[in-house]
Structures are given as structure tokens and as C-alpha cells.
Amino acid sequence: RVKEIGKNDFQFYTPEMNEMVSKKMQLEIGLRKALERKEFEVYYQPQIDVNSGRVIGVEALIRWEHPKLGFISPVEFIPIAEETGLIIPIGEWVLKEACRQNKEWQNQGFPAMRMAVNISSRQFKQSNLIAIVSKALEESGLEPHYLELELTESIIQDSKYAIMTMHQLKQMGIYLSIDDFGTGYSSLSYLKLFPIDSLKIDQSFTRNMFEDDKDAALVHTIISMAHNLDLKVIAEGVETEAQLAFLSQRQCNEAQGYLFSRPLPAHAISELIKHPYTYG
Ligand code: C2E
Ligand code: MG
Ligand code: MG
Ligand code: MG
């Protein structure tokens, strides 16, 4: 049994560091088996039209329940999936499942809405992305304009290839948006090159709007810029009425956040959209 260790003793750190390394390894090992063991589930978070208060879309967000460690946040495991390449099969599974679910809701007679799927940069760069997206649409029978792909500014690194791929997706009729807008370090010039439909204002700006005037100014500026470029704009992380009012006054098109709903499993979304859901 180890006796009390002084806080300046190096051993104080070692077990924690070991634990961190082994947790990452545990996650990596777990991720390799998670698909076949059916440990993933897709949750959906409503996106609301600011003017009408209606649900116009949902964002698909993956959830993972590790058999021993319990629920692991995608913030923790998506980067590991990216690093190991596991994001390719996992991402394809999410895309298929999300398209299938959206078509199922349409078949059940719910008002048609868009399904937004996050695409990480490694997924975006895979050579058969177009084939994978086409297959997900074909197999589900979902029309392409009901699918949205959320891309991040990081894909811009390889801009020639990115522009080509985006044009192909656009020609297929898919809705394209830039996620976490404003948090990347890319130049704005890509906005005129990329055939995108909308910008998603990152939640870090929305969150601090009333604590920091500069965040409010950034939110306002992103909305104006999007509109000047003929793009739609959606704010993420909307948690309060005051934030919604601010966004509405500045003609932000859409909003998403805990104010309306947390991400929910498919059956709970069915309940929500069963009775024509209108916020406010
Ligand atoms: P994201 O795409 O920016 O998704 C928004 C995140 O913000 C989600 O976290 C959502 O649950 C959370 N959120 C939504 N509204 C609020 C709010 O009002 N307040 C706060 N505090 N948070 C809010 P989540 O589900 O943990 O996902 C985190 C990130 O993981 C996502 O950020 C996305 O980058 C990534 N991710 C999730 N699912 C997938 C996936 O299927 N594929 C890929 N490639 N990435 C995914
Ligand atoms: Mg997203
Ligand atoms: Mg985001
Ligand atoms: Mg994000």
C-alpha cells in the first residue's frame, strides 16, 4: 500500500499521466470494435427557423456508450477516430443512419426537414466521398436537398481539391454549410470560392454575446456578411430568450441550442415533431 505522497513528489503526477495514456488507448481499442458491437447511436438536435419558430432541420450528433467507461463525448473520441482513420467507417455509418432516419420521418408523414451531418476533414478528403454520399442517398431514397453536410474551415488546407469536391456535392443538390464559423484561421477569400449555402456561427460567440461586446459585434458582423454574400446563417449554442431576441433582431435565419432542445434520440424527436412544433 502506498503511503501518502507529498505534492512535490514526481510520483504524484505519474499515475495520472499513465491513466491518461491508457484511457486514450482504451478508447482507441474500444473504437475499433464499437461499430460491430453496435455501441453507437445517432442523436438529433432541432434547428429552428427564427421567423416561424418551426423545426426546419436536425443535426445528427453521434453518441457512444463504451461498455466499461460509459458515455464518451464526441469531443473526446472524434479526434481519436480522426487520428486512427476510424472516422471513415464511423462517418459512413452516421451518414447512412441519418439519411435513413430522415426518410423514415418523411414516410411517417412528418413535415420534410433537412438532416445535417458533420463531416470531418479526413472524411472530406477520402477519395470516394462522393460515392459514399451517393450510396447513402440511394439506399435511403432521401432526396439530396434534404441532406446537409457540415464542413469545417480546416478542409480549406487543400483548397483546390476541396473546391472541386464541394462543387460535385453542390451539383448533386446537397446543402453545404461551414460549421464552427469564425474559429478557424483561414482567410475570408474562400467564401467567394466555395459553393456553400450557409454559415454556422460558432457557439463560443453566441455564448458570450452579453458578457462581451466584441462577441456581440462578431455575431452581428457574421450575420451581415453572410447575407451580403447571399448565404443563410444559423447560430449554434442558443440557450436564452435574450440571445434569440438579439439574433432575431439582426435577421439571423436559423438557431440551434438548448433553448429549443438538447440533442435527442430519434424516438424523442418523433414525439417533438408529431404535433407541429413551433417555438414561442
Ligand atoms: P458541432 O458539430 O459544432 O455540434 C454542436 C455541439 O454543441 C454538440 O455537441 C451539441 O450537443 C452542442 N450544443 C448544442 N446546443 C448547445 C447549447 O445550447 N449549449 C451548449 N453548451 N452546447 C450545445 P456534441 O454532440 O458533444 O458534439 C461535439 C462535436 O463533436 C460536434 O460539434 C462535432 O464537431 C463532433 N461530432 C459530433 N457528432 C459527429 C459525427 O457524427 N461526425 C463527426 N465527424 N463529428 C461529430
Ligand atoms: Mg456541427
Ligand atoms: Mg459547431
Ligand atoms: Mg464543433
pTM: 0.93
What average pLDDT does the segment 2-18 reach? 55
Alpha-carbon 91 to chain mean position:
12
Q: Which of 35, 61, 199 to mutate to test the pocket of ligand 1 (most atoms within 8 A of CB)?
A: 61
Q: What are phi and psi of 211, to 5 degrees?
A: -95, -30
Distance CA(122)–CA(242), nearest Å, equals: 37
| Confidence at residue 3, expressed as pLDDT on a 0 to 100 scale | 45
57-105 pLDDT per residue, tens: 999 999 999 999 999 999 999 999 999 999 999 999 999 999 999 999 9
Pocket of ligand 1 (CB under 6 A): 45, 60-62, 73-75, 78, 91, 94, 118, 120, 150, 179-180, 203, 236-239, 256-258, 263
Per the CB < 8 A criterion, the answer to whether 166 and 191 are in contact is no
224-280 pLDDT per residue, tens: 999 999 999 999 999 999 999 999 999 999 999 999 999 999 999 999 888 767 777
Q: Which helix (H) or strand (E) holds 123?
A: helix 121-125
